[in-house]
Homo-oligomer: A and B are copies of this chain.
Amino acid sequence: MSDSLTVKIPAVPSFAPAEYTLTSVKGVRAAGVRAGIKASGNPDVALLVADAPLAAAGIFTQNHFAAAPVVISKAHLLRSHGLVRAVVVNSGNANACTGTQGEADARAMCEQVAALVGYPVEQVLVCSTGVIGVKLPMDKVRAGIDLAFKELSSDVEAGRRFLSAIMTTDAFAKEACAKVGDALVTGVCKGAGMIEPTMATMLAFMVTDLDVRAEQMKRALTSIAASSFNAVHVDTHTSTNDTLLLLSTRAVKSAHDWARHVEPVARRLSWLIARDGEGATKVTTIQVTGAATDEAARAIARRVASSALVRTALYGNDPNWGRFTSQVGNAPEVRHAKDLSCVLQGIEVFRNGEPTAFDRAAASRAMASEDVKLELVLKDGPGHAVVLTSDLGYRYVQVNAEYTT
């Protein structure tokens, strides 16, 4: 006997645009155009060009199947010692699992931009996102790049067009900014889990005018990413194309603690990615403290964040301490599980290995929020970590299960 079920699909959230975007940083121009790579006709080629050289650092996917543009951009960044003149992006096709032709195509995109701007090819970076395993339609890409170059502008609207041309399955545009004295930190990103046959890559571009050298950026970016983009768990998959770039015109003198102004922007962007988990209704911040080491804390937090049972409980506003704590109990990194306490939205639901007599209905109401915090407290040592996860509801299944030709 087969039965049917009617379920509510959550509304798509909307967020006000940020006050500043990439082109708000002086000396940075951008464009986003329709090149016909996407069947939908939506914008799919984005270009960012700087009047003066940008200091740059990047973090790239560690997936064994790193896509051609990742291979090329990493090599260019190395050869140019972190000096960048332009970034070209296409959406609708990830240029991943495309063999040697894929690398030639990614290189050709950089060469075309290099010729247009008049700088060496290693000063151009390239990113792609979209379907994998399909060769790039290079005629369309080439025409798109020419068009984007003509439309480069320093308007705020041009920055927004850049953003719209990097999006794929995103339900909403993602941008964030901070004003730090005379300096700006701006960022845009795309990403929302992975939809067949697209592996919906995370791409993030942050542009600032803080005066930071490329080597300094490189060191700081790892720790910035650890508390932001690398703390997002929407799925266990990292894509073939994930790329985070931090770029600076270096026009405004900055203090030694410049990174603490960049980190909140990165965090906001990564929160938006988690919020856009397919069919997500909330972002849950899982904080582990008291683990033996930070590494142990991260492993425990990730184990909790990756559980489909935990994520469905979050979707259902179910204060299900058993699911949260049993995942901690499953973690080999835990030393003294009996000391575990668990605080959900400020309510202690589990103390020293046993449940408390908390008010389940009140806890459930507290979970009905766009922002949920789950604190897992151990007494193993000083290790702590934070991971963001999206919840898992009917819409996730709908988006991910339906077979489409």
Contacts and interface: CB of A to CB of B under 8 A. Distances in A.
Contacts of A338: 64
Contacts of A293: none
Interface stretch (A69-77, A163-171, A283-291, A309-317): A309-317
Nearest to A133: B355
B7 A2 contact: no
Given A307-B236, A318-B403, A326-B63, A312 B7 contact: no
A7 B394 contact: yes
A336 to B, nearest CB: 8
A313 B397 CA distance: 9
Nearest to A134: B355
A274 to B, nearest CB: 15
Nearest to A11: B2
B306 A7 contact: no
Contacts of A80: none
Interface stretch (A49-57, A154-162, A194-202): A194-202
Contact of A397 (B317, B353, B394): B394
B1 A8 contact: no
Contacts of A196: 313, 318, 320, 322-323
Interface stretch (A219-227, A248-256, A327-335): A327-335
A329 B393 CA distance: 26
A40 interface: no
A373 interface: no
Interface stretch (A25-33, A112-120, A237-245, A260-268): A237-245
A364 interface: yes
Given A6-B6, A64-B334, 10 more contacts: A4-B8, A132-B322, A193-B309, A196-B313, A236-B307, A238-B330, A308-B308, A308-B396, A392-B401, A396-B397
